A = this chain, B = another copy of it.
Amino acid sequence: MPISSGNTLGVGVIGAGVMGGYHARLFAGRIGGARLAAVSDPDRARAETVAAGARVHSDGMALIRDDAVAAVLVAAPDAAHHGLVMEALRLGKPVLCEKPLAATVAECREIVAADAGRGLVCTGFMRRFDETYREMKAALDAGRVGAPMVLHCVHRNQIAPGWFTGPMIVTNAMVHEIDICRWLLGAEYTAARIRAVGDRGDLILAELETDIGAVVRIEVFMNAAYGYHVHAELVGRAGAVAMAEPAPVRLRAAGAAQAAYPADWIGRFADSYRAQDQAWVAACRAGRADPDLATAQDGLVATRCCAQLVGLLEGAGSGALALGG
């Protein structure tokens, strides 16, 4: 494996859009043990803007094959994920792929098969590195809330484009809850119900059962207006643990003590991305898996669950989920 030991890990970032640019800036200077080796984007000028002196490719496949690139971060459009991840696997290079792992369940399955248990593929479910979820999981694992009963989740965006329709709400937004609740509970989903509320279809309620008996309740609201807000509360037999308001300060102004919400995910999960990328680099350099990084299998499960939820949303509303295999 072309992992540098002692030296820094050369990371290539595929895609120079919002997400790719964000990761590139991290690898360029804020992740220990890594350096930004290359950036690719069909829009070469955009790639150069974020490359900060690193090599530039217009083709993601070329970046993967670049010898300066020891590990690959995929932030290309969803449809391209499968091909890029497969190529990295072919060359035996570690890859961290932004969610979703691939656009279809079949593609995800191929990736899992190609990874063949090597652990070369990670899926970018960065919330696993968010301190609120980690503290909740720590409380659960330490027995401080007892056996889990209900996990209440809220995921609100301030505003979404009109074309951000029901299925996208599931596959692009709710997918984060789908992964993080599995991880937090250490459980698999067995059945689900899902429905839209209101006439615009931008608020979706889901309720998922798990194989440990706990129920996950989710609200995703794409136009919550007041800000970007992610909240969760885990209720167990011995207690409960919930996120606090995320703002570190209170501004007393205009008649209120104000705990600010960020405008979007960057303000809420910036630290999670950094911590995830740092953990991934450390794992790549050490040549062993970090149990908190989402695997290819985790990516498959999330994609499959979301596909089934979309089916339920457009169909019967509720039904069993086949998630196990």
A residues in contact (CB < 8 Å) with B: 6, 8, 26-35, 53, 131-132, 135-136, 139, 144-147, 149-150, 152, 154, 156, 193, 197-199, 203, 205, 207, 213-215, 217, 219, 221, 223-227, 229, 235, 237-261, 263, 271, 278, 282
Docked pose: A154 CA to B240 CA in angstroms = 12
Please determine whether B256 and A235 come into contact, CB atoms closer than 8 angstroms.
no
Other A-B pairs, 11, CB within 8 Å; known A198-B213, A199-B213, A244-B248: A8-B8, A147-B198, A149-B203, A149-B221, A150-B203, A150-B219, A205-B207, A207-B207, A224-B239, A226-B256, A240-B252
Please determine whether A250 and B242 come into contact, CB atoms closer than 8 angstroms.
yes
Residues of B within 8 A of A243 (CB): 248-250
Q: Work out how many copies of this chain go into the complex.
A: 4
> Which residue of B has the minimal Cβ distance to A258?
B256
Please determine whether A249 and B139 come into contact, CB atoms closer than 8 angstroms.
yes
Residues of B within 8 A of A254 (CB): 226, 239
Interface centre among A223, A226, A249, A257 (most CB of B within 10 A): A257
Closest 6 CB pairs of A and B: A239-B253, A256-B258, A240-B252, A30-B32, A257-B259, A135-B249
Interface centre among A199, A243, A251 (most CB of B within 10 A): A251
